[in-house]
Homo-oligomer: A and B are copies of this chain.
Amino acid sequence: MATISDVAARAGVSRSTVSRVFLQPQVVAEDARRRVLAAADTLGYEPSPVARSLRRGRTGNLGLVVPDIANPFFPPLIKAVQRQARRHQMALFVADSDEHADDELALVRAMAKQVDGLILASPRVAEADLRALIEGTPTVVINRRLEGIPAVVTTPEQGMTQAVEHLAALGHGEIVYLAGPEQAYSNQQRRQALENACRLHGLRLSELGPFEPHFESGVRAGDLVLAQGGSAVVAYNDQIALGLLARLSERGTRVAQDVSVIGVDDTWLARMASPALTTVRVPAGAAGAAAVRLMVDVLSGGPVAGAAVELATELIVRSSTAAPPRPAATA
């Protein structure tokens, strides 16, 4: 690989000049600039990002840690982050923690020193560990609140309220919540929103779980729901809801007619399921983009220590919800 010195020698200028040609072309004389570019071209020279990072103290890279790439909620978020990062001339490095706190820590540790900023989506790590680790690395979290750390959170209140109203309007009197991972911030948030809405509209709420946010968990939940009875189910996320849908169909229960099911996230799977899944849309892409914007503010020294961007959610009604089989106490 050619270095800046090689180019300088070939172009008959100093290293400084070569450097300038790439950083502030305007200040270099037309003549010298052309010679440098020609030399760089024939030598196939490109500035070493590593050396540049060392000297500058910035890498131009952003890191993103997600709990599970296979969860269809995250790809749109990742894509949005990548697009937004590119817009600010930064490259994005993504890592997957496999829903595992230890791996998450290891990943954060590996990344922290190689990126200018770290975006953590739905981190599971214990707060103390996390704080210790990101000491010195600008960090933005998505879907978790940590005092003093800028965050983007989606607020389930609106969506969950709409969901409860929707079910109440259809005549349901009680709701079963299929809980997500106990330590997940989103789970606590969603449960709380659901509780509040139910209290407000006089619906009974029961809970099953916790479940890992996977399709298989939903399948397992299906049997529990059938055993316990219940006409309306709200799942922690679409994946669980879809597993539930599959299992209910398998066991001869008609989704919507017999049991109404609502998911959360509105991943593309919700649309493709049959029946199409009624779900609370969570703006994943918007959250990712907002996180990058926050990060940019942080990096440019903005006073955003505890800033939090809140993004609303909304219910998307499709075909997995309907009036309960035997009219409940509507009147």
Contact = CB atoms under 8 A, between A and B. Distances in A.
Most chain-B Cβ atoms within 10 A of its Cβ — which of A68, A107, A268, A272?
A272
B96 A82 contact: yes
B44 A50 contact: no
A93 B85 CA distance: 15
Contact of A91 (B79, B98, B110): B110
Most chain-B Cβ atoms within 10 A of its Cβ — which of A59, A70, A242?
A70
Given A50-B50, A70-B72, A79-B70, A135 B242 contact: no
B114 A96 contact: no
A272 B242 contact: yes
Given A70-B72, A93-B95, A274 B274 contact: yes
A7 B51 CA distance: 23
Contacts of A249: 274
A53 interface: yes
Interface in A153-207: none
A75 B268 CA distance: 16
A113 interface: yes
B53 A50 contact: yes
Q: Interface size class for chain A?
A: 35 or more
A113 B70 contact: no
A48 interface: yes
A75 B79 contact: no
Nearest to A215: B272
A27 B63 CA distance: 35
Contacts of A114: 49-50, 61, 91
A53 B54 CA distance: 9
A41 to B, nearest CB: 12
Contacts of A113: 46, 48-50
Nearest to A58: B50
A304 to B, nearest CB: 21
A141 interface: no
Interface in A77-131: 78-79, 82, 86, 91-96, 98, 106-107, 110-111, 113-114
Given A69-B94, A215-B272, 16 more contacts: A48-B113, A50-B54, A50-B59, A50-B114, A54-B54, A68-B75, A69-B78, A69-B79, A79-B96, A79-B98, A91-B114, A94-B95, A242-B272, A246-B272, A269-B269, A274-B274
14 contacts: A46-B113, A48-B113, A50-B54, A69-B75, A69-B78, A70-B72, A72-B72, A86-B106, A92-B95, A93-B93, A243-B272, A246-B272, A249-B274, A269-B269
